[in-house]
Structure 1
Amino acid sequence: MIRWLLTIFIGLIVFSAALPWLEKLGIGRLPGDIRFTLFGRKILLPFASTILMSLCVMAVAHLI
Structure 2
Amino acid sequence: MQKTLILLGLFIVAVGALWPWLSRLPFGRLPGDIHIEREHFDFYFPLTSSILLSLLLTLIFWWWRR
Same fold per superposition (TM over 0.5):
yes
Identity of matched residues, %: 36
Question: Max radius of gyration: which structure?
Answer: 2
Q: Which runs of 4+ in 1 moved over 2 A?
A: 21-24
TM-score after normalising by structure 2: 0.55
Where does the alignment leave 5 or more consecutive residues of structure 2 unmatched?
1-18
Deviations, residues 5-41 of structure 1 (Å, cap 9, x unaligned) = xxxxxxxxxxxxxxxx665311011111010124423
Match of 2:42 in 1: 42
**Structure 2 partner of 1:27:** 27
1:55 aligns with 2:55: yes
TM-score, normalised to structure 1's length?
Answer: 0.57
- Structure 1, unpaired ranges of 5+: 1-20
